[in-house]
Structure 1
Amino acid sequence: MSGGQCAGADRFQYLQALVTEFQDTDSADAKEQVLANLANFSYDPKNFSYLRQLQVPDLFLDMLTEDNETLVEFGIGGLCNLSLDKACKSHILASGGPSLVINCLSSRREETVLSAITALMYLSTGASQADISTRPVVECMLRFSLSTNRRLSNLANVFLEDYCTEEQVREARSVEQHTALGIPLPED
């Protein structure tokens, strides 16, 4: 076995141990710490196949409906990272991921919202566009684009410019002017 194969086996075993620890622990703090580690490992494309084997995309998806906002934040962060992998992206789309990610747009946590917007951009394909650039999402992005938070407003503007048609934005603007309905902005 070459050094690369050994390192790969060690990496898989380490990630497997993290997943097992997450599943076995009853401690909220331990779950948060392990999920943060898994989200960090999902940044590295070398880990994508291991994380898929260990069903980590499903774990991240499951976290998006938790009451614990820290678990949601780390879950959406990890999911955002894994959305760059074609196989993970397909799995997330097939598993109803866009609607779960869209629900994260209403979080009061800035990092959760930023990761959700970014994940929606990564998950956007010709086939998924209709599920992602819906009128409520476009209206939400219009509100976010007006935020004094530069990170949020810049990301929302990128979404509006690159993932929405001019007609979608125009229609959402006309509806937005007639409603008081709004998703709250995350706290700065």
Structure 2
Amino acid sequence: MFSTKSQLRKRTPENGTDRENYLSLLVDEYLNSSSLDAKCQVLANLANFAYDPINYCFIRDVGALDIFLYVLKNESNDKLVNFACGGISNLCLDPLNTTYILDSGILNLVPRLLKSGNTDIVASTLSIIIQIHNSLGKPELFNTYLKILKLNIKKSKMLSNRFPYIAMNNKNYQKICKLHTSTFNSVSFKAGDKIRIQKTLTQKDLDTFSNLTSDHNHLHKNNGNKRPIVHGALLNGLVAGLIGTHLPGPGTILVSQTMKFPNKCFVGEKLTISVELVDVRKILKVKFFCVVEEEKKVVFEGEAKLILAKDC
């Protein structure tokens, strides 16, 4: 869900770091880090912030958009490129960002990105094209890049059940659908669709989350012989990230949620976070789990009811 300025003020403690400064710190961390894992984590965070329109101007001002563009032009690592594509895809909803992105020469990069073996990169690139098409009103632009995908039938099939939802928020959705019917089949979500990732949370992750939320409970700190416990809300955020970016994906809005924490989750434990679609109607239903696989320990589980933005 999107934020307002008043909500940001309420969530920022009196002596806390405001949103613009926090994003600036993330940019500095990316620029000064030599660790690929750290760069991936920072870029993923920046891409998530790009989802909320209230952050658009901050992301431009602190140079995060320039980092996304630099990565697409100069980096070959799929993870970095994927996060950069996702961030730019979100930012293209803003006309000022779209103009800036076009001036950077991004259209010259699109053919290479569409030929990527990573379907997440291809899907995000298509989303970028859709948003630019929406701004420029040039269907020939969209058709040109679809021809590239037609050369790879296997990739087209893999994307066929994702592409319609990338376009869900687009006001020219029906027009765009007609452009891709020769390449993509209109496949709906189906019960049983799953997505999962693995992640290991560090003390730095907890400290960052504590500073952002003002939750400085000592249980989340390194306290002698006791291992720090991961915030329940942070686990919920990891699940929200999967729901909002992968399944069902961008445009998903939370209606209601039930959750429980059967066991404690400690810093350093390798988590498997999974989301499964269990009911497909106007209101979608998913179930989710966070599990420490080594111990077969469930630390977070629940269900959520969702709607897609087009139904609002």
Q: TM class, shorter-chain normalised?
A: 0.7 to 0.9
Q: Give SS of 1:13's match.
A: helix
Show CA shifts across 1:76-135 (max 9, x none). Answer: 000001001111011011111222234211111111111110110001157473783353
Quick one: which of 121, 131, 138 aligns to 1:112? 121
Distance 1:126 1:50 in 2: 22
- Give 1:152 deviation, angstroms: 4.7
Instruction: Give the equivalent residue in structure 1 for 2:160.
Output: 150
Q: What residue in structure 1 maps to residue 31 of structure 2?
A: 23
SS of match in other structure, 1:26: coil
- 1:50 corresponds to: 58
Q: Secondary structure at the match of 2:99?
A: helix
Classify 1:157/1:119 alpha carbon distance in 2 versus 1 (closer, same or farther; 3 Å). closer
Report the Cα distance in structure 2 between the residues aligned to 1:156 and 1:118, rounded to whole angstroms.
Answer: 6
Q: 1:59 aligned to 2:67? A: yes
Q: Does 1:77 align with 2:86?
A: yes
Cα contact 2:29–2:42 (8 A) shared by 1 = yes
Alpha-carbon shift at residue 67 of structure 1 (Å): 1.2
Distance 1:57 1:146, change over 3 A: closer
- More displaced, 89-98 or 119-128? 119-128
8 Å Cα contact 2:89/2:128 also seen in 1: yes
- The verdict on how the C-alpha distance between 1:156 and 1:75 changes in structure 2, with shifts beyond 3 A counting, is closer
Work out the number of aligned pairs and report it. Answer: 168
Q: Which of 1 and 2 has higher RCO (CA within 8 Å, sep 6+)?
A: 1
When Rg is computed on C-alpha atoms for both structures, the one with the higher figure is: 2
Match of 1:4 in 2: 9
Letter of the structure 1 residue corresponding to residue 100 of structure 2 = H
- The reply on whether 1:162 has 2:167 as its aligned counterpart is no
Partner of 2:99: 90
For residues 53 and 146 of structure 1, the distance between their equivalents in structure 2, rounded to whole angstroms, comes to 37
Unaligned runs of 5+ in 1: 173-188
| Cα gap change, 1:84 to 1:44, in 2 (>3 Å) | same
Matched residue of 1:43: which SS?
coil
Unaligned runs of 5+ in 2: 1-5, 184-312
Mean CA deviation greater in 55-64 or 69-78: 55-64
Q: CA RMSD of the aligned region, Å?
A: 3.6
- When residues 35 and 146 of structure 1 are mapped into structure 2, their CA distance, relative to the original with a 3 A threshold, is closer
Whether the 8 Å CA contact 2:27–2:63 is kept in 1: the answer is no
The structure richer in strand per residue is: 2
Which residue type is aligned with residue 162 of structure 1? Answer: K
Which structure shows the bigger proportion of residues in helix conformation?
1
Output the CA distance in 1 between the equivalents of 2:164 and 2:51. 22
AA of the residue aligned to 2:31: Q
